[in-house]
Structure 1
């Protein structure tokens, strides 16, 4: 269970970093690029993947690392587009609703057995998601950051439906697919380390090329902050894969606990550190989330 708790903790810390980055004038895209460099270094230092066998991936391994290498930076860019066109609330909702994709995959792809308690746990998890995503009215006016987002959302309201919903669909499908790919990577056992390293390398190269094409002016503070982001993100992914390896026959637990746990803890952190308002519905969602994880936990 500790692997799941650690993964949730580091994921929440990544969210805290991204929230503070705007206030500290960190250029997120540059921090993301340095994040992959840091992740590669940590992967080599801590996991020590066998370098002589990096090119000896299985056909499935090549598919997984190629998709992850492309999707990790691509989904970040799609998310940025979604926030710009549809607003932060709809974009965050699309990301969290991606939980539906790996839960379906748990039964259709990974052949997990569905019991009565597990089915009830899934329903409670989705209910918790709905409660946690509901925000009190006027919360968007609580901080200068959210005021800017509110103005941006108003301007973007003039976008056509297609321009708004296409990136939202990309966010939903992208995050859901990434969850499934990490589960597939976990099934390779100890061989996941080399697959993970190659994924980070490919993601870093693609992100770097994108920045070079945009003729980016490099920002020292953003690059240095990317080292911290890389450490947090690497830890999040590493423990997430380990959690899947700890519960190989119960992917639903990991998918649901990770997504619901992150947003539940993130909601509490937002209230405690950033003075975000919580409604009774949000608090009920936290209770439902805990109950759902208990039901999904293997007996």
Structure 2
């Protein structure tokens, strides 16, 4: 269980770092670039993934390249969402992306649509309605809802691509490591173009911030994998605890540490999100 708690903590700390980045004059795009350099290096060093396995003829290169593009893109979207809509609503939107992933599993991957899963899906959609409502006193909340929807859809896209890669028989650790490295190369190219155009300068703050972000990003994945290995007979419990834990801790940090305002609709959506995640997880277990 300690692995699971550490994974929850790292996931929420990623949102906290994205929230603090503008205050610390950290260039988000630069930080995300160095994040993938650090995450890729740590994956190669600590996990020793077999990249040779990616040479197999059935390797889904289109899905891998799309994932490498989607990963940094959703990080940029999440950073914007955290800034405009807050940690509380952004973390809930991220975790409720499982609704779209579940719908994709029904439509494209042949998963059975049980009563429990459909009930969780319905509750989750109601939760999204609540989460999208703007707190009355929020100054920038009106501009936050499109970014919340983008977070919701973006993380679902990543889940679908990961499932597509897994179904092709490619190791998830190998594919993620490769995508980290491709994402770093793509983002570094973007930063060089920005520098040549005079839009930014490379700076130590963004480098350090990106290093911390990469360590947290990698640790979140590592601890989540270790939790599944330690509790291999209870995957639904791991899934539910991870998602509910991020929603609960994210809400606590956002409200207590950053004074984020929430409306009654937001709080109702938060409660429904927890229930929906639990219902889906235990329906999957059954």
With the shorter chain as reference, the TM-score category is 0.7 to 0.9
Q: What are the superposed Cα offsets for residues 177-222 of structure 1, whole Å, 9 maximum, x if unpaired?
A: 1121123344567822221111111100000000001114111011
Distance in 2, matches of 1:209 and 1:259, equals: 34
Q: Which residue of 2 aligns with 1:127?
A: 126
Structure 2 CA distance, aligned partners of 1:24 and 1:199?
28
- What CA distance in whole angstroms lies between the structure 2 residues aligned with 1:70 and 1:27? 19
**1:170/1:139 CA distance change after superposition, 3 Å:** closer
Whether the aligned pair in 2 keeps the contact of 1:3 and 1:240 (CA below 8 Å) is: yes
1:101 corresponds to which residue? Answer: 100
Question: Any gaps of 5 or more consecutive residues in structure 2?
Answer: none
Match of 1:199 in 2: 179
- Report deviation, 1:23: 1.2
Query: For residue 143 of structure 1, what is the aligned residue in structure 2?
Result: none
Mapped partners of 1:247, 1:109: distance in 2: 26
Aligned residues: 273
Residue pair 2:74, 2:151 contacting (<8 A) in 1 also: yes
Q: CA deviation at 1:133?
A: 3.4
Unaligned runs of 5+ in 1: 141-148, 154-164
- Indicate the residue corresponding to 1:281 in structure 2: 265
Deviations 1:124-179 (A, max 9, x none): 12222322333421123xxxxxxxx57x95xxxxxxxxxxx8x9987665433112
TM-score calculated relative to the size of structure 2 = 0.76
In the alignment, the residues of structure 2 paired with residue 244 and residue 103 of structure 1 have an alpha-carbon distance, to the nearest angstrom, of 20
Task: Indicate the residue corresponding to 1:230 in structure 2.
Answer: 214
Deviation, 1:61, is: 3.7
Q: State the TM-score, normalizing by the size of structure 1.
A: 0.73
Contact 1:129 1:260 in 2 (8 A): no
Secondary structure, aligned partner of 1:32 = helix
Bigger shift: residues 103-112 or 71-80: 71-80
Q: Does 1:212 align with 2:198?
A: no
Structure 1 pair 56/207, CA: closer, same or farther in 2 (3 Å)? same
Instruction: Report deviation, 1:247.
Output: 8.8
Aligned to 1:157: none
Per the TM alignment, residue 264 of structure 1 is displaced from its structure 2 partner at its CA by: 4.7
Cα distance, 1:273 vs. partner?
0.9
